[in-house]
Amino acid sequence: MPSQIEIRSAGRRLPAAERVAIAVLGTDRGSAPEAPRALRGSLDRVVRRRGWKGDEGQSGEAELGGGRTLAVYGLGEAKKLDGRRLRKIVDRAVADAVSANARSLAIILPDHACARGERNAERLGREVLLAGYRFDRLRSERKSAKLREVTLVPPAGEGKSFAAGVAAGAAIGSGVVLARDLANTPPNEATPAWMVARARELARRHRAQIRVLGPAELRRKGMGGILAVGGGSANPPRMVRLEWGRGPLTIALVGKGVTFDTGGISIKPAAQMEEMKWDKCGACAVLGIFEAVARLRLPVRLRCYLPLAENMPDGAAYRPGDIVRLANGKTVEIYNTDAEGRMILADALAWASSEKPDALIEYSTLTGACVVALGPTGAGVFTPHDGLAAGLLAAAEEAGERLWRLPLWEEFLDEMRGTHADLINSGGRWGGASTAAAFLSQFVGGLERWAHLDIAGPAYRGEGKDRRGATGYGVALTVNWLRRGEA
């Protein structure tokens, strides 16, 4: 498993790895100044082969002796070189090492600007950890990768900052791996109770406080939204609160945890319903963020709220036409039981905001409308606070996770006002991502620094057998945002 790979940074001396990877520019023709002297002969044998141009995507191998292998990768033209291209080379080098059954790999990074800086080193460290990710613990024939150690050799003069960046990247990558593993776990295993057990494990490991509300406590706290959504399931709902750390700021994170979503009485079409095991990606991302923050020991007080429920259609399920009272006293008329995420989030947001954090961020695979607007590669951020929006967008850019601000105009809230109740839980056809966000805005009290991230597009990949699965979206951008200290 990728979480077992040890990632480290070395000095400029060549590590004794079974496989050594080096990237060269097309114009270098083998004259890469960062290549250790011990590699020169093997490197020359590759780049002097007929047809070698060092183009992006081109590669070659040569023996180093003693059963070791040199892998050479082309970077293409210097003027087109950027961090994205370098990370692709790292991905490929790790994948090739796994295919070759190598136990150890050294990657020698070129002395070019795109590799410099602690944050670039961090992204490379994260990339290494995730490059060979697979969720295969439930397969009868598991193809366990032998790769256990990857050493990144930094550009000249980058030793200390590069090592710090790689270590941070490994910690963040571990949070992403956790989020992926939790989200990819199937719904017959990953029930609300199972998610609670995973949260308890995290709390024990990092000495955090944890509180879990079952149905009786949810009723006492007036959390009618999560009780309604979970009412039709044999697996009762739960609400989890985790608290960790100390610092000048208290940050609340809320993550949607619908462990499986049939749509309830307003049942979904059968096609692609199996993807609804990923409707818990928001809660999984929050637990991944918690893991990364605790590993990095960031100076922040972190509170995490996980509303966990399974949306099933039986005789006890909530119905269209029902009116439900939520934790802050507001009533909601149900128009569509498949608009369940906002119901459980409303109760969690009301609880989180009542404890007066400095800022609140919420993550949910909330609407197909956001996927229509932004496609599968980017999430939408909704917030009334310009400074919070700017900070999150900048942190996402640093992390390589696409994020785009979408509007919260008053007209969207007007669309969600009810006739027989304060609100309705589903608006009309247009602006569905924004009307959902407007609904959530009614449960944050007077808190100004709050944001809703609709991660329905990038949270998982549903197509292509080789690429299917959760992405752990949101972990890296949130850690970056927390480290910026702008909350």
Return the active site residues. Answer: 268, 342
Distance CA 208, CA 287 (A): 12
Cβ atoms < 10 Å from Cβ of 115:
21
Helix 281-296 and helix 192-206, axial crossing angle in degrees, nearest 10: 10
Cβ atoms < 10 Å from Cβ of 319:
13
Distance CA 249, CA 358 (A): 6
Q: Are the C-beta atoms of residues 217 and 178 closer than 8 Å to each other?
A: no
Instruction: Tell me the chain's radius of gyration from C-alpha atoms.
Output: 24
DSSP type of residue 474: T
Distance CA 436, CA 407 (A): 11
Distance CA 252, CA 354 (A): 11
Distance CA 329, CA 331 (A): 6
In the block, tokens 């609407």 appear at 367
Distances (CA, A) of 285 to 232, 411, 470: 26, 31, 10
Exposed/middle/buried for 481, CB within 10 Å: 0-12, 13-18, 19+?
A: buried
Which among 405, 394, 406 has a CA at the least distance from the CA of 478? 394
Distance CA 373, CA 385 (A): 22
The maximal CA–CA distance of the chain, rounded, in angstroms, is 80
Residues facing residue 21 across a β-bridge: 71, 107
Which among 346, 380, 352 has a CA at the least distance from the CA of 365? 380
β-strands 250-255, 423-424 pairing: unpaired
Which among 414, 221, 427 has a CA at the least distance from the CA of 335? 427
